[in-house]
Amino acid sequence: MIKKFFITGTDTNVGKTFVSKILLRKASQIGYNTAGYKPVASGCKKTPLGFFNHDAIILRENSSVILDYQEVNPILFFENAPPHFLSKIYNRNIKMKNLSLGLKKIVKKSNWILIEGAGGWYTPISYQDTFSDWVKKEKLIVIIVIGIKLGCINHAILTEKAILSEKLECRGWIANHTIPEDKYNLYYIQTLQKYMNSPFLGTVPYLQKKNQINFKKIKIILPE
């Protein structure tokens, strides 16, 4: 059976890609053929081989199956701005059918797929559709990444309510410490455990140097 999960966040810059990296590694360790998919990305970095999106590179490097960059990230914009703005400016329409076509290609190679959105749940991909519309069309299982900081409780509750209102399954949420922990972080998580309806999958500690992560010490339950 092929497992397909969509990673959304309570906001931009809450660590969706870093959490995706951890989940891809954990799934690979128990025998899945894993693949990361970033259908739409904004913002590039220059490499000796050309311009690529940093998040898409991380997903590709942490997939256990061999994927071309274009397979991981078929739609790329150079500027770091909302994709529906850029698609309008550069006359490059983002169509849901193209996102689905890219996913079908990934499915042929992998049985455990992590799809990373852009920004939060209702990030537009055009002036007609949001990422949530595509997730609903594909009937994907959703995982929420919550950046633990002031304001996260309200954002998390609203995000989960929006997902459930679409009759989608939210398989769980992950608390990611994106800033150095303060004395209230534990209370944020305790409050979220009380108010969130979906399972608590674990926490990711604040890491100043993310390339030195010890994956065995990250206590996250892999969604099934």
pLDDT exceeds 80 at position 143: yes
Nearest in space to 130 (alpha carbons), one of 23, 35, 40, 63: 40
**Coil, helix or strand at residue 114:** strand
Residues with a known catalytic role: 38
C-alpha 101 chain-centroid distance: 19
State the first-to-last Cα distance of the chain, in angstroms, to the nearest integer: 11
Nearest in space to 133 (alpha carbons), one of 1, 4, 8, 3: 8
Mark the binding-site residues for substrate, compressed into ranges: 42
The CA-CA-CA angle for residues 180, 183, 185, to 5°, reads: 65
Q: For position 45, what pLDDT does the model report?
A: 80
- Residue 112 backbone zone (phi > 0: left; psi -120 to 50: alpha; other: beta): beta
Q: For position 180, what pLDDT does the model report?
A: 82
| Burial of 107: CB neighbours in 10 Å, binned 0-12, 13-18, 19+ | middle
Q: Which two tokens stand for residue 2?
A: 């092929």
Mark the binding-site residues for Mg(2+), compressed into ranges: 17, 55, 116
Per-residue pLDDT tens digits for 148-205: 999 999 999 999 999 999 999 999 999 999 888 778 889 999 999 999 999 999 999 8
Q: What does pLDDT average to over the chain? A: 93
Q: Which two tokens stand for residue 80?
A: 């770091």
Q: For position 72, what pLDDT does the model report?
A: 98
Mark the binding-site residues, compressed into ranges: 13-18, 42, 55, 116-119, 176-177, 205-207
To which H or E segment does residue 3 belong? strand 3-9
Per-residue pLDDT tens digits for 34-53: 999 999 999 988 788 788 99
Nearest in space to 179 (alpha carbons), one of 157, 149, 153: 149
Q: For position 207, what pLDDT does the model report?
A: 78
DSSP structure class, residue 215: G
DSSP notation for 27-88? HHHTT--EEEE-SEEE--EEETTEEE-HHHHHHHHT-SS---HHHH-SEEESSSS-HHHHHH
Average pLDDT value for residue range 116-140: 95
Per-residue pLDDT tens digits for 69-103: 999 999 999 888 899 999 999 899 999 999 999 99
pLDDT exceeds 90 at position 214: no
Beta bridge partners of 57: none
**d(Cα 13, Cα 9) in Å, to the nearest integer?**
8
Mark the binding-site residues for ATP, compressed into ranges: 13-18, 55, 116-119, 176-177, 205-207
- pLDDT band, residue 134 (cuts 50/70/90): very high
- Give the position of tokens 């559709």: 129
Average pLDDT value for residue range 54-80: 95
**What CATH number has the domain spanning 3-217?**
3.40.50.300
